[in-house]
Amino acid sequence: MKIGVLALQGDFALHEKALARCDVASVEVRKPEELADVDGLIIPGGESTTLLHLMEEWAFVPALEKFHAAGKPIFGTCAGLIVLARDVERPRQFSFGFIDVGVERNAYGRQRESFEAPGLAVLDGKPTPIDMIFIRAPRIRRVGAGVETLATYQEEPVLARQGSVLVGTFHPELTDNPAVHRYFCGMVLRAAGRPGAGALPSEASR
């Protein structure tokens, strides 16, 4: 199993480190055709407008739509969540709409541009401590009926999932706590339909 990290902009290198902590191989994805080689994709934080421009410039829009339609898991953090959401406000901008949430960008206000908080997520049915670092974070203002909230901060959803799409308003890759990445790796492994395959020497031996 191999997970791609979209490496057009933002803090992609830290996601690779987080995946390494989960003993999962990662690869930087810079061109749409590279999506064919990965079982899941992380879209990192950064600046969503810049990220969208680069994605459009590099023809990622149809390629990512195809990737999603194939049921391959995608995890978006912060700006990554903004590009995956159904609706985006302040300002309104294009988004893929792969998860039925409405988000407001930079929604914590100037005094709280960045902050850290401990949290508890329910991951695979188990309460799991997580560490949340918010940086000019969006807020999830609306959650559709098909969306599962996995963690909240001050009673608002901050980690959510719909099918193969996982999103967080915070940056788990900036902490040493691998819980959220580990959960995503589990999603990817299950979607690839090869439970335990990551631990096997090679496909060829079967």
State which of residues 45, 76, 157, 178 lies at the interface with ligand GLN (CB under 6 A): 45
- Give the x-and-dash track for 49-88 against ligand GLN (CB under 6 A): -----------------------------xx--x------
C-alpha distances out from residue 160 to 117, 119, 128, 142, Å? 17, 14, 14, 11
Q: At which residue do the structure tokens 């933002």 appear?
A: 10
Q: Are 37 and 166 in contact (CB under 8 A)?
A: no
* Interface with ligand GLN, residue 48, by CB under 6 A: yes
Q: In the annotation, is 22 catalytic? A: no
Smallest distance, ligand GLN to C-beta of residue 194, A: 32
Q: Is 78 a catalytic residue?
A: yes
CA atoms within 13 A on the CB side of 107: 19
Quick one: which of 47, 87, 89, 104 contacts ligand GLN (CB under 6 A)? 47
Tokens describing residue 60: 């990622």
C-alpha–C-alpha distance, residues 121 and 139, integer Å: 17
Could you confirm whether 171 is annotated as catalytic?
Answer: yes
Catalytic residue among 171, 181, 185, 203: 171
| Interface of this chain with ligand GLN, residues 170 to 199, rule: CB under 6 A | none
Compute the least distance from the CB of residue 106 to ligand GLN, in Å.
5
How many Cβ atoms sit within 10 Å of the Cβ of residue 142?
15
Candidates 68, 72, 105, 139: give the one binding ligand GLN (CB under 6 A): 105
CB-based contacts of 193: which residues, under 8 Å, 6+ apart?
A: none
158, 166, 160, 161: which is closest to 117 by C-alpha?
A: 158
Taking the complex as a whole, how short is the minimal distance between the CB of residue 120 and ligand GLN, in angstroms? 22
Which residues are the active-site residues? 78, 171, 173
Q: Where on the chain is the footprint of ligand GLN (CB under 6 A)?
A: 45-48, 78-79, 82, 105-106, 135-136
